[in-house]
Amino acid sequence: MKFTVVMADPAGNRTAIVRSGVPKSERAKVAAAIMADPALRAEQVGFETRPLYGKSLGRLEMAGREFCGNAARSYGYLLCREKEIDHCKIEMSGTREQLEVICDLERETSAAQMPMPEKLEMAGEEAEGLYPLVISRGITHMICVDREFDEAFARRMIDKFGKGFSAFGVMFVNGDSLIPVVYVAETDTVCCESSCGSGSLAAAWYLTRDEKDGFHGYNFEQPGGTITVNMAKRQGRYAGTVGGKLTLEEPVTMEIED
């Protein structure tokens, strides 16, 4: 079976976008082949498919069926570049919302509207203290403010609290620095990602809870680059986008045995 892949690089979180035509039954095999290819250096894989709702230009479903902010803005950017437009609506696994993606093709930037978290809980260990869990429909994040990156701690939190979610991230936030570790249940993988869009949104949403109504901007410096989150807060309601620089590579054709 042959298929086409476009590699996107949103702040280092290299995302393989597999163009339409791959059956669901073959996705696991295709995703494994992409992740194993050292030339692609992919951190995650998404599959283009038909939209489920009206007025969407396209739909992207992640290999683990999770939600991913970086993949959403990457896919929207790809569609905008092909259509030579500056915005579009897309669909994404892990959410039922149609998401607007706004692009500047000359500056190579893309910002995606994000679904807002549904609730906040606390979790942790007695010796380590409690940390907020920002729970969203497609992914949940533990926000560890003022804690240095600790992969062993992240994996322990994933084992204790993350296995009940389709995807679970541990975000280490120190000022403008954010280091993400993400677990995806469908693929049973843990990755120290170069950047995380949904984790950036979760951190910004949590930090904005203590701010006054208005607009609040965050520039999170991550291992692979900077992600910008713009949050609007009004009377307990929130809206936000995740954006930043993004590059696309030329499509490549791959082939695996049927």
Q: What percent of the chain has pLDDT over 90?
A: 93
User: In the predicted model, what is the mean pLDDT of residues 60-84?
Assistant: 97
pLDDT at residue 127 greater than cutoff 90: no
Specify which residues 172 forms β-bridges with.
Answer: 144, 179
Name the pLDDT band for 55 (thresholds 50, 70, 90): confident
pLDDT at residue 258 greater than cutoff 90: no
- Residues contacting 102, CB < 8 A, separation 6+: 86, 87, 110, 111, 112, 241, 243
Q: Helix 197-208 vs helix 69-83: angle between axes, to the nearest 10 degrees?
A: 120
Chain segment 208-256, per-residue pLDDT in tens? 999 999 999 999 999 999 999 999 999 999 999 999 999 999 999 999 9
Chain segment 141-195, per-residue pLDDT in tens? 999 999 999 999 999 999 999 999 999 999 999 999 999 999 999 999 999 999 9
The chain-wide mean pLDDT, for the chain, equals 96
pLDDT at residue 257 greater than cutoff 90: no
pTM of the model: 0.94
User: Does an H or E element contain 94, and which?
Assistant: none
Domain ranges of the chain: 2-112, 119-245
Domains 2-112 and 119-245 share a fold: yes
Report CA torsion sign: 74, 79, 83, 89. negative
Separation between Cα atoms, residue 126 and residue 133, nearest integer Å: 16
Q: Supply the CATH classification number for the domain 2-112.
A: 3.10.310.10
What is the homologous superfamily of the domain 119-245 according to CATH?
A: Diaminopimelate Epimerase; Chain A, domain 1 (3.10.310.10)
Chain segment 10-43, per-residue pLDDT in tens? 999 999 999 988 999 999 999 999 999 999 999 9
What pLDDT does residue 159 have? 96
